Amino acid sequence: MPKSKPVDPAALGPNLKAFASQVSQFALYLRAERNCSPKTIEGYSSDLADLLAYLAGSGADPGVRDLDRELLRSYLARLAGRRLSPAARNRRLAAIRSFTRFLVEEGVLQADPLTLVRGLKSRRALPHPLTIPEVERLLEALETPLEATRAQDDPFQEAETARDRALIELLDGSGLRIAEACGLPFGALELAKPRNPQVRVRGKGSKERIIPLSQASVAALQGHLVHRGELRPKDPVFLGRRGEPLSPWTARRRLKGYLIKAGLPADVTPHQLRHSFATHLLEGGADIRMIQDSLGHASLATTQIYTKVSGEHAQGKYRKAHPRDKM
């Protein structure tokens, strides 16, 4: 979704300037009190900037105390006129709801004007995980350098290939988010435990979770780390060509190259590897609460979506395998 255009402060009346200041205070609250990720804060701030632009365009100068149910419903109706999807409109509503609750906590509002306003019903799309044979094809493509035309004496080529394999094996074997993997410090890896190698991750809300690592992930990480030399606990595990921490953008671009090399859809994202991790664990008999802990989901309901994915896969396998289904 495109970002909302910022409102020119000079065009705002005194009440809307105070409104904009409250939005800035809300962003600080999300960072300091709620430990929200920068991406979440940016999204909420963008959504509230859109509300501010709507209010500024009304020709009036409403303040935060003028946020009543009717005003907010008129804004939500305007969103419907923009042909935004129900999910996108619900996201805007969630941002405003968090903001109004913050205003109530701060004593700016006496009551939340959105208490009786419900979100729209939307059908949540099921994740599209890779199959196990597709994952194997992707990993096979990682056995050789991505750029076949690069000079053979390039000292970074072997290290880069080892890094890519370690990163993708880690994503597939742990379900990490791409930002978590790219920001992983060396001290988070516990590879020396032969029976229980694991990784400690700080995810959304700075909550730590411990994820067991597969032997394949451990072998790939060890193959990568021999190229790094001695590392301190805070040193990033994955680096770019210039020695900077590997960016999620670069990681996605590298993954796309290997997908094309493996003959797989180029639009598969790192997050789909996370979906694949959860789906394959579930199909292998893992407990759903263990999967919830590994993924870092606050709600079990978020994890339970994979039971639907697994159910669809099981039906597909049945229809391919059962002779009576071909009549």
175 Cβ neighbours under 8 A, 6+ residues apart: 211, 273, 274, 277, 278, 294, 295
- Whether the Cβ atoms of residue 259 and residue 265 lie closer than 8 Å to each other: yes
Q: Which residues are catalytic?
A: 177, 204, 271, 274, 297, 306
φ/ψ of residue 209, rounded to 5:
-135, 150
The rounded distance, in Å, linking the Cα atoms of 201 and 217 is 15
Torsion of CA 184, 305, 131, 129, to 10 degrees: -60
Question: What DSSP string runs through 36-47?
Answer: --HHHHHHHHHH
Among 263, 282, 269, 249, CA closest to 171: 269
